[in-house]
Every structure is written in C-alpha cells, then in structure tokens.
Amino acid sequence: MAVTRVSSRRAFELYVSRIHWTVATKELKDYFAQFGTVRKCLLPVDKETGFHKGFCWVGYSSEEGLRNALQKESHILEGVKVTACFK
C-alpha cells in the first residue's frame, strides 16, 4: 500500500527546466503556487559550483494544481521563459 501512496504523490509533479541561475527555490515555489497548493519544490544544486542545475520538480497536492500549471502557455521567471511539463 505504501507504494501506491508514493506513486499517486509523484503523479502530481511538474518538471521545470531552463531555470535561470538567479532564480531560487522560494521564487519557484511562490510562482507555481498561483496554480495550486505546492507540496514541494526540489531544485538540485551542483556540489562543485554551488549553483542549481537549471531544473526542478514542483509537486502539487492535487491534480488540479498540476493541470492549471500545464494549461498556462508559457512561464516566465526573472525574464526567462522556462519549460514546464509532466514527466
């Protein structure tokens, strides 16, 4: 049963790429929260450089939040268009 629960949580994750290096986790979470309740925002950091890797996962608490984010034609953060998709 625990596996089912994990699978359903992952179902509401948005993959975001092409994130400008100046964008922080809080900015991503705040931006994507306009579409629904954000459960998590994971922005991996390169251990050698200390900068994030330019992509993240945004986890919504419901399918509706994910759908709302995917329906928006483009997402612009810090003047840069990021790519958002369901993976």
Q: What is the percentage of the chain residues whose pLDDT exceeds 90?
A: 85
For residue 3, pLDDT beyond 80 = no
For residue 2, pLDDT beyond 60 = no
Q: For 32-84, write each residue's pLDDT tens digit.
A: 999 999 999 999 999 999 999 999 999 999 999 999 999 999 999 999 999 99
- Per CATH, the homologous superfamily of domain 13-85 is RRM (RNA recognition motif) domain (3.30.70.330)
pLDDT of amino acid 4: 36
Q: What is the pTM of this model?
A: 0.84
| Domain range summary for the chain, segments of one domain joined by + | 13-85
Q: Which residues of 17-53 are buried (b: 16+ CB within 10 A; e: fewer)?
A: eebeeebeeebbbebbeebbebeebebeeeeeeeebe
pLDDT of amino acid 35: 98
